């Protein structure tokens, strides 16, 4: 009789073992996804995800899987569309919005518009390298930067155009996550534009609330033409305003200027210190702020507001009211972050 029951007993044991293994594999997969989010309780998040296990073939990285890292030094053959970094650079996020920076010669800052108020970056681009260009329940990439600086990217204005980061001997990026903010520090070694070569450190951070980034640029020596800007879109005019004291100002745009459709609206702005900027210039692709030559730190705040955000800003009037309130805060305190 014992032999008669042996087969079903063994079968049950095997089925239980397989089910248990499936549960363990599922748990491991979920844990791996959760591991990509280092501090979801903070309300902010920054990340950098590169491929491992594949190989370089010329300027493209083939095969492998993405893994989040704390820092990376760019390989010498890395360029745009190398398929080495998930969504092509580091990302910043809070409940309202997410941004990414193209960590290659372009050095533009792009926008991920969000329709949800949860953190999404750990899942963006995992299924397909550039699937984030397509509409998803969480949102999508909404800005076309082209040859421009996007929203708040930086470069050097010279010869009536913007020199990006084509000639750099080394680029190193490091991610930081804490309760106050999420940030990425990028060091550009021997950035050459024309006859000038400097080192540049950029620290870009996001706080738990609102929509702005804080950008701090620290050049190794004074250089003419260091610039930031907002991508130009045909039919969308530039808006300018200076604070009551004259210490702070902003440039901004608002209108139909996304990749999503012909009806949604996007507002973009950059707050800057008036005494750090020498002039505003219309470049071929951007509305540009040209900074005065300095070896001191330069600070500015880019932001974007998409009308499809959850409980977002949905009109030009709302957008300008928000900007003007922030301008008053900067005038009074010198910072948009009350904890600074």
Domain CATH code at residue 279: 2.70.98
- Encode pLDDT of 218-269 as tens digits: 999 999 999 999 999 999 999 999 999 999 999 999 999 999 999 999 999 9
Return phi, psi of residue 172, to 5°: -130, 130
Q: Quote the pLDDT of residue 40.
A: 53
Domain that holds residue 66: 44-333
Domain assignment of residue 16, yes or no? no
Domain count, the chain: 1
How large a percentage of the chain has pLDDT more than 70?
87
**Nearest in space to 233 (alpha carbons), one of 324, 304, 315:** 304
| Beta pairing, strands 139-141 & 213-219 | unpaired
Global pTM reads: 0.88
Domain assignment of residue 130, yes or no? yes
Q: Taking a C-beta distance cutoff of 8 angstroms, is the pair 156, 289 a contact? A: no
Q: Quote the pLDDT of residue 129.
A: 67
Q: Quote the pLDDT of residue 41.
A: 63
Domain assignment of residue 51, yes or no? yes
Return d(Cα 113, Cα 116) in angstroms, integer: 9
To the nearest 10°, the Cα dihedral for 69, 73, 78, 80? 60
Domain assignment of residue 23, yes or no? no
Domain assignment of residue 21, yes or no? no
Return d(Cα 297, Cα 218) in angstroms, integer: 5
Q: Quote the pLDDT of residue 151.
A: 98
Q: Quote the pLDDT of residue 13.
A: 39
User: Which pair of tokens denotes residue 324?
Assistant: 């003007």
Domain assignment of residue 49, yes or no? yes
Return d(Cα 313, Cα 320) in angstroms, integer: 10
Q: Quote the pLDDT of residue 128.
A: 66
> Which residues, other chains included, contact 67 with Cβ-Cβ below 8 Å and sequence gap of 6+?
49, 50, 51, 52
Domain assignment of residue 230, yes or no? yes
| Ranges in the chain, pLDDT < 50 | 1-39
Domain assignment of residue 27, yes or no? no
């Amino acid at each position: 009789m014992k032999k008669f029951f042996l087969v079903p007993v063994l079968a049950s044991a095997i089925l239980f073992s397989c089910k248990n293994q499936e549960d363990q594999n599922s748990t491991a997969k979920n844990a791996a996804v959760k591991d990509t989010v280092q501090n979801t309780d903070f309300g902010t998040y920054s990340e950098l995800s590169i491929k491992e296990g594949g190989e370089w073939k010329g300027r493209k990285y083939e095969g492998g899987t993405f893994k989040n890292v704390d820092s990376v030094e760019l390989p010498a053959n890395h360029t745009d569309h190398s398929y080495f970094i998930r969504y092509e650079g580091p990302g910043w996020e809070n409940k309202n919005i997410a941004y990414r920076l193209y960590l290659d010669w372009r050095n533009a800052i792009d926008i991920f518009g969000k329709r949800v108020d949860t953190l999404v970056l750990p899942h963006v681009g995992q299924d397909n390298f550039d699937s984030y260009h397509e509409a998803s329940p969480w949102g999508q990439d909404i800005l076309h930067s082209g040859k421009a600086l996007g929203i708040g990217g930086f470069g050097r204005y010279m010869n009536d155009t913007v020199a990006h980061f084509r000639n750099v001997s080394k680029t190193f990026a490091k991610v930081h996550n804490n309760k106050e903010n999420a940030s990425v520090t990028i060091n550009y070694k021997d950035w050459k534009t024309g006859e000038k070569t400097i080192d540049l450190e950029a620290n870009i951070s996001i706080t738990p609330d609102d929509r702005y980034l804080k950008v701090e640029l620290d050049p190794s020596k004074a250089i003419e033409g260091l610039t930031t800007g907002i991508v130009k879109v045909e039919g969308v005019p530039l808006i300018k305003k200076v604070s009551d004291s004259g210490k702070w100002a902003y440039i901004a745009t608002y209108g139909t200027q996304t990749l999503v459709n012909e009806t949604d609206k996007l507002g973009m702005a950059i707050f800057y210190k008036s005494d750090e900027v020498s002039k505003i210039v219309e470049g071929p692709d951007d509305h540009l702020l040209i900074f005065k030559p300095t070896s001191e730190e330069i600070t500015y705040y880019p932001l974007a507001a998409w009308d499809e955000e959850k409980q977002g800003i949905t009109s030009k009037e709302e957008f300008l009211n928000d900007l003007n309130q922030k301008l008053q805060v900067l005038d009074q305190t010198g910072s948009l972050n009350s904890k600074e």
